[in-house]
């Protein structure tokens, strides 16, 4: 079939297998061009198929020759329907890893479940013995608690009072005002339940109890902190509360697995275009303005540059520099006062007419298309391609 993007609101409902492969290969090439990374050899990546998790897997494998075991939640293709992008990314990753003689296996299913944790543990015992790095990179709108069977939905809402702000509607391509109602306590609690640290702790507990955590294991979960422009809808909102809970979880993990010498960190990364961030109101506008400013300043970075930098300079370093909340910070350029001031100046005056001049929506949109394998110059999108792809 000939596959063209089918965009509905903030998501694209199909994906291009050849384009997804181009995206994975581009990231692999970047890592190889930067040189080797001192990263452990047996790496578990939870949320391995897109965004920051995929970049983590690529950096570990192609920067350090690591064996990678991945967990993700993706839809496989059929004769008539494409798979999700994460499925094709994983197929492309497996192909490239096998060609490079690198061990990789991926389990597809609900990472929040006990069953998935048990499957991963069996596979570690069978193939690797232990893991010495656990990367926790899930982004999900809901989670079923494995103990109670209750399903929780996360909410993207401000806390305390209604919040009116500018946003960019990516389907109508207009800048307009949006008013977001404040969260209830239930909204906050549910969001913490989904995106907070509980599941990360359950993973570490399960892995440790099964004896598959190597001594000196490093683990990280990813966060976004941001600044004033995004605080009302992110940092100080429901999702920010969930992210604060990661700090609590990191402290607990460090304390609980002292005998194993486990190091747990929350790593703060910069805002980038991923399937998760495009669903957050305000983010497409903020990211477009921020891209324009950071590209003009010559300091733009995407997922792979961020993760390569994190792995190479901070996560596996002896005594990495931590912030006041003991987090690793890869977002220090984005959050720098001069950069934020320039974004704020544009934010104050941006409207539908001047948006393409003040913001880099072209760059934002291209990154968005690339998430689904579209927009690559090397790919002929008029070609008939099979939607079928396997994880070799």
- Catalytic (active-site) positions: 234
Strands 67-72 and 42-46: parallel
- Nearest distance, CB of residue 297 and ligand NAD, angstroms: 19
Part in contact with ligand NAD (CB under 6 A); list of ranges 132-140, 255-263, 288-296, 354-362: 132-140
- Nearest distance, CB of residue 101 and ligand NAD, angstroms: 24
Sequence-ordered strand ranges (E) for 109-201: 131-136, 142-144, 151-153, 163-169, 174-180
Encoded tokens for 128: 């690797």
> Is 240 a residue that touches ligand NAD (CB under 6 A)?
no
> Is 74 a residue that touches ligand NAD (CB under 6 A)?
yes
298: left (phi over 0), alpha (psi -120 to 50) or beta: left
> Is 284 a residue that touches ligand NAD (CB under 6 A)?
no
Q: Give the span between the Cα atoms of 161 and 33, in whole angstroms.
A: 48
> Is 112 a residue that touches ligand NAD (CB under 6 A)?
yes
In 3D, which of 138, 178, 185, 142 has the Cα closest to residue 160?
185
Q: Give the span between the Cα atoms of 143 and 123, in whole angstroms.
A: 23
- Nearest distance, CB of residue 68 and ligand NAD, angstroms: 13
The contact mask relative to ligand NAD for 140-169 (x = CB under 6 A, - = no) is: x-----------------------------
Listing DSSP states for 215-232 in one string gives EEEEEEEEE----TTTTT
> Is 196 a residue that touches ligand NAD (CB under 6 A)?
no
> Is 50 a residue that touches ligand NAD (CB under 6 A)?
yes
Q: Give the span between the Cα atoms of 116 and 123, in whole angstroms.
A: 11
- Nearest distance, CB of residue 275 and ligand NAD, angstroms: 4
Residue of 24, 71, 249, 328 interacting with ligand NAD (CB under 6 A): 71
Residue of 59, 67, 223, 340 interacting with ligand NAD (CB under 6 A): 223
Q: Give the span between the Cα atoms of 117 and 142, in whole angstroms.
A: 18
> Is 86 a residue that touches ligand NAD (CB under 6 A)?
yes
Q: Give the span between the Cα atoms of 112 and 192, in whole angstroms.
A: 14
Shorter beta-carbon distance to ligand NAD: residue 225 or 358: 225
Residue of 28, 138, 293, 358 interacting with ligand NAD (CB under 6 A): 138
Residue of 26, 110, 169, 189 interacting with ligand NAD (CB under 6 A): 110
> Is 111 a residue that touches ligand NAD (CB under 6 A)?
yes
Calculate the dihedral angle through the C-alpha atoms of 274, 73, 141, 256, rounding to the nearest 10 degrees: -100
In 3D, which of 330, 308, 306 has the Cα closest to residue 226?
330
Give the interface with ligand NAD as residue ranges (CB under 6 A). 47-53, 71-74, 86, 110-112, 137-140, 222-224, 269, 271-272, 274-277
């Amino acid at each position: 079939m000939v596959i063209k993007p089918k965009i509905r609101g903030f998501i694209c409902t199909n994906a291009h297998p050849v384009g997804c492969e181009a995206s994975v290969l581009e990231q692999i090439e970047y890592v190889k061009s930067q040189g080797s990374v001192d990263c452990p050899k047996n790496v578990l990546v939870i949320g391995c198929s897109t965004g920051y998790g995929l970049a983590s897997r690529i950096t570990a494998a192609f920067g350090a020759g690591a064996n990678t075991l991945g967990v993700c939640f993706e839809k496989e293709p059929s004769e008539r329907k494409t798979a999700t992008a994460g499925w094709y990314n994983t197929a492309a990753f497996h192909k490239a890893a096998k060609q490079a003689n690198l061990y990789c296996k991926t389990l597809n299913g609900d990472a929040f479940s006990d069953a998935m944790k048990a499957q991963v543990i069996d596979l570690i015992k069978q193939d690797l013995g232990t893991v010495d790095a656990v990367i926790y990179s899930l982004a999900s709108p809901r989670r079923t608690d494995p103990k109670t069977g209750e399903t929780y939905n996360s909410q993207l809402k401000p806390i305390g009072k209604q919040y009116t702000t500018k946003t960019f509607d990516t389907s109508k391509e207009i800048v307009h005002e949006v008013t977001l109602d404040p969260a209830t306590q239930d909204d906050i609690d549910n969001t913490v339940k989904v995106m907070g640290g509980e599941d990360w702790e359950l993973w570490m507990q399960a892995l440790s109890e099964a004896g598959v955590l190597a001594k000196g294991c490093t683990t990280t979960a990813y966060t976004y902190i941001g600044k004033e422009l995004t605080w009302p809808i992110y940092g100080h909102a429901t999702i920010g509360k969930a992210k604060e809970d990661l700090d609590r979880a990191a402290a607990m993990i460090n304390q609980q697995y002292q005998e194993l010498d486990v190091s747990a960190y929350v790593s703060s990364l910069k805002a980038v275009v991923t399937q998760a961030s495009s669903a957050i109101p305000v983010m497409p506008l903020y990211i477009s303005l921020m891209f324009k400013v950071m590209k003009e300043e010559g300091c733009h970075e995407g997922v792979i540059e961020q993760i390569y930098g994190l792995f190479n300079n901070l996560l596996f370093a002896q005594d990495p520099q931590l912030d006041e909340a003991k987090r690793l910070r890869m977002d220090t350029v984005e959050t720098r006062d001069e950069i934020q001031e320039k974004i704020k100046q544009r934010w104050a005056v941006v409207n539908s007419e001047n948006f393409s001049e003040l913001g880099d929506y072209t760059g934002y949109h291209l990154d968005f298309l690339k998430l689904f394998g579209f927009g690559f110059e090397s790919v002929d999108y008029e070609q008939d391609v099979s939607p079928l792809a396997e994880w070799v």
